[in-house]
Amino acid sequence: MNVIFYIASIIAILATIMVITGRNAIHSLLFLIVSLLAIGVVFFTLGAPFMAALEVIIYAGAIMVLFVFVIMMLNLGKAYEKMEESWFSYKAWLGPGILCIILLGELIYVFTVTKGSGRQLTVISPQEVGMTLFGPYILGVELAAMLLMTGIIGAYHIGRRKQKEYHRLLQKEEEPA
Amino acid sequence: MLSNIRSMWLVFLRMFHKRVTVQYPEKKNYLPPRWRGRIVLTRDPDHSERCVACYLCAAACPVDCISLQATEDEKGRRYPEFFRINFSRCIFCGLCEDACPTYAIQLVPDFEMAEYNRQNLVYEKQDLLIDGQGKYHGYNFYKVAGVAVGVKEKGGGDNEDKPVDIKKLIP
Amino acid sequence: MNPIWAHILTLVLVLLVMVTIAAGLIYVERRMLAVWQDRLGPNRVGPFGLLQVMADMIKIFFKEDWIPKFADKRVFVLAPMIVMISILMTFAVIPFTPLISVVNLNIGLLFFLAMSSLGAYSIVLAGWASNNKYSLLGAIRGSAQMLSYEVFMGLSLMGVVVMAGSFNLHDIVMAQNKVWYFIPQIVGFVVFFIAGIAETHRLPFDIPEAESELVAGYHSEYSGMKFGMFFVGEYLGITLISALIVTLYFGGWRGPHFLPPVIWFLIKMFVFILIFILMRASLPRPRYDQLMSYGWKILLPLSLLNLLITGACVLYFK
C-alpha cells in the first residue's frame, strides 16, 4: 500500500504542476482530473474508501465535467493561448510565487518537526462515515443542505422562462388580458 | 409508458412471423417476360441482323449510353458497323426498345451484370447480338419494308403488291 | 494454487469473457433486430452468420486509423480509451458467482458510480477533440444527459443499499436470499433501468449520437480501431448495466440448483441484454428537452420518494 501511496502522490503533484503550467485550458483541466483521481487513490490507501469514491464521483465525475463543459462552450482558440502567454509575465507570478514558497517552507517545517507521529491506519467504512455525519456533525450537514437548497432555488429563478413572447400579430390580442 | 411497453410487446411478437427476406442468390424472384433488364440485339428469322442502324435508339436514350455507326453491305442493306452500349450508364428505361422500328433492340429479364472492372460493362455488338428473335417471332423487317436488299424481290413482301409496270397500259 | 495466480487468472478470465460477449453482441444485436423486424439478419459468413463478428473485426482492424488534421491529437486518442477502461474496471466489482469476482470491494456500488461518471469524459473529450460542430453538439448533449441521469441512477440504487445495508455487491446478493429486490424495489428497478439506458446512450436515448440529426454525434470523426473501441464500449456498457441489474435486483447468481450459479447469472444477464436490443427495435427516440424534463421532473422525484419510503419501511420493520 505504501508504494501505491507514494506513486499516487507523485502523480498528483506532477499533474498539478502540469495544470499550472499548461497553456491549453482543456489539457490543464484533464491534468486536474488526473490529479483528483490520484488524490482519490491516496484517500483509498489511507483507509478512507468512501471518501475516495466520493472524490471520484463528485469532483472528478461531476464537477470537472461541468468545467470541461463550460470551457468547451467558450471555444478558446489559438488567440486565447497567446493571450494567456502574456499573463505568464514576471510581474504576474512573482507575488503568488513568493507566497507559495513561504507556504511550502512552512509545510516542510511542519512535516519535519512532527515526524514519527505513528499514523495508525484504520479503514473507515461507509456506515461509520454516515454515523459521524448524522451524529456529531448533523448541524454541518443541515447547513450544507440549506445552502444547496438556496442554490437550487436560485438556479430555478435564474433559469425560469421569461414571459412568453408572442408573434407580433398576436401581441395585440394578448395585451388587454 | 404503457404504450411503450405495448409497442415493445408487439415488436417482440414479430419474432413468430414469416420472414420477408428472400435469400437472393439461392432463391430468385420470378421476373415477368416483359421485365426490362439487359439489352440485346435480336436477329431475323433468317438469321441476319435486325438492326438497320437508324440511330433512333441512340437519340431516344436519355442517358446517351448507346453509340453506333451505320454502314451498308454490298446489297444495300444497312447494318451497324459497331454497336456499343455502356451498361454502367444504362438505366433500363426501355425507351430504346420503344423507339426501335425493327424490333431489333429488346430488353430481357436479366439484371445480374456486376463486374469488378467497370470497362467490362461496355458491351460491343458481338456481346449484344443473340441468336434468337426475342419477343417477336417471325417478324422480318425487310419482308414488310419496301426496299429490296436481297431478302425479297421488290414487291414480293407480305401484304405487298407487285410493282406496277409503268410501261404497260393495263391498269 | 497460489492465491495471487488465482486472482490474476480470474481477472484475465473476466476480461476475456466480457470483451468476447461484447464483441459477440455485435452479431446478436444485428440478428435479433432482424428477427424482430421480419428479416433474417447476417446469415452468410459461417454457420448462421456467426463468423460475421470475425469479419467485422477484421474489417475494423484493417481500416485506416485516421486522425483529422484539425483534431486535438492527444485528447482524440485518449477519449476512446476512457470508455473502455472505465467500463472494464467496473466489471471488477461484479460478483458473477460466490467465488468468481475480481475484487470484493466494500464500496462496490460507489465504485460503479464513480467509473460510470468517468465514462462521461469519453463523450465530452471525443466531441471536443474532434473539432467538429456535430461532434461538439453530441458531446454537449451526451455530457448533460449522462450527468443528469447519473443522479437518478445513484438515488435509485440507494433503495437497494438501504435494504441490504451495504455497498458491497456480494452482500447485496446475499441479502436477496428471501426475495429478489425487484419486488420491493420495483420503482427503483424501473428508474435504474431507464437511467441505465441513458447512461449507455442506447436507443431510445441515443441522443448524443442521433444519426438523423448529428451524423454520428461525438464519434463522427473516428474510424478504424478507435471507432471500434466506442462500438465495443457501447456493448460493454449494455453488458455491464445488465449484469448490474441482475446483481442488484434479480438475485445475482441465485437460482434453482440444477444449473451452476454462473450459468444462472449469464442467463439473466442475456435476458436483459435482449430487452435492451428489443427496446432499440421498437421505441422511437425522444426529443432532447423531453428526455431532460422526463429525467428531472419524473425520475428524480420518483427515486427520492422511493428512497424515502424504503428508508421508512426499513426503520419501521426493523
Measured at the CA of B75, the angle between CA B73 and CA B78, to 5 degrees, comes to 45
Q: C121 and A72 in contact by Cβ < 8 A?
A: no
- Over residues B142-163, mean pLDDT: 77
CA B107 to CA B32: how far, in whole Å? 12
**Bridge partners of residue A128, in order along the sequence:** none
C32-37 LR contacts (CB < 8 Å, sep 24+): C32/C274, C32/C277, C32/C278, C32/C281, C33/C277, C33/C280, C33/C281, C34/B21, C35/B14, C35/B15, C36/B11, C36/B12, C36/B14, C36/B15, C36/C278, C36/C281, C36/C282, C37/B11, C37/B14, C37/C281
Chain C residues with CB-CB distance to A68 below 8 A: 121, 124-125, 128, 143
Question: Which position has the higher pLDDT, A36 or A169?
Answer: A36
pLDDT of residue A149: 93
SS3 content of chain C, % helix, strand, coil (to 5): 75, 0, 25
Cα(C216)–Cα(C212) distance, rounded to whole angstroms?
A: 8
Q: Which residues of C touch B10 (CB under 8 A)?
A: 282
How much is the pLDDT for A176? 54
Q: Over chain C, what is the mean pLDDT?
A: 83
Among A68, A128, A152, the strongest candidate for a mutation testing the C interface, having the largest count of C CBs within 10 A, is A68
Domain boundaries, chain B: 30-135
Chains B and A, touching by 3 or more CB pairs within 8 angstroms: no
Structural domain range at position A79? 2-174
Residue from C70, C73, C78, C110 to probe the interface with A (highest A Cβ count within 10 Å): C110
Interface check C38 vs B, CB under 8 A: yes
pLDDT, tens digit, for every residue of C229-239?
A: 888 888 888 88
- pLDDT above 90: residue C124: no
C-alpha to C-alpha distances, A76 to A22, A59, A80, nearest whole angstrom: 14, 23, 6
Inter-chain residue contact A61 with C72, CB threshold 8 Å: no
- For residue C306, pLDDT beyond 80: yes
Give the model confidence (pLDDT) of C76-112 as tens digits. 888 888 888 888 888 888 888 777 777 777 788 888 8
Q: Is A30 on the interface with C (CB under 8 A)?
A: yes
C39 to chain B, any CB pair closer than 8 A? The answer is yes
Nearest to C196 by CA among C234, C140, C251, C225: C234
Query: Which CATH number fits the domain that encloses residue A45?
Result: 1.20.120.1200
CB A22 within 8 A of CB A32: no
Residue with cell 430481357: B108
Nearest CA in chain C to B26: C44
For residue B2, what pLDDT band results from cuts at 50, 70 and 90?
A: confident
Mean pLDDT of B135-158: 79
- Under 8 Å between Cβ of C16 and C102: no
Domain count, chain A: 1
CATH of B30-135 given 1.25.40.10, 3.40.50.300, 3.30.70.3270, 3.30.70.1230:
3.30.70.3270
Instruction: Give me the residue from A65, A125, A126 closest to C121, CB to CB.
Output: A65
ipTM, 2 decimals? Answer: 0.77
Phi, then psi, of B133 in degrees rounded to 5: -105, 0
Residue B21 main-chain phi, psi, to 5 deg: -70, 140
| Minimal C-alpha gap between C107 and chain A (Å) | 7
Q: Which of A57, A47, A56 is nearest to A5 (CA)?
A: A47
Does C282 sit within 8 Å of B11, measured CB to CB? yes
Distance from CA of B65 to the nearest CA of C (A): 35
Which residue in this structure is represented by grid cell 483521481? A37
For residue A173, is pLDDT > 70?
no
Closest CA to C172 of C90, C88, C89, C94: C94
Q: Do B15 and C40 touch (CB under 8 A)?
A: no
Torsion over CA: C163, C169, C171, C172 (sign): positive
Q: Which residues of A touch C307 (CB under 8 A)?
A: none
Average pLDDT of the residues in C189-204: 85
* Helices first, then strands: H and E counts in chain B: 5, 5
pLDDT of residue A116: 57
Q: For residue C16, is pLDDT > 80? A: yes
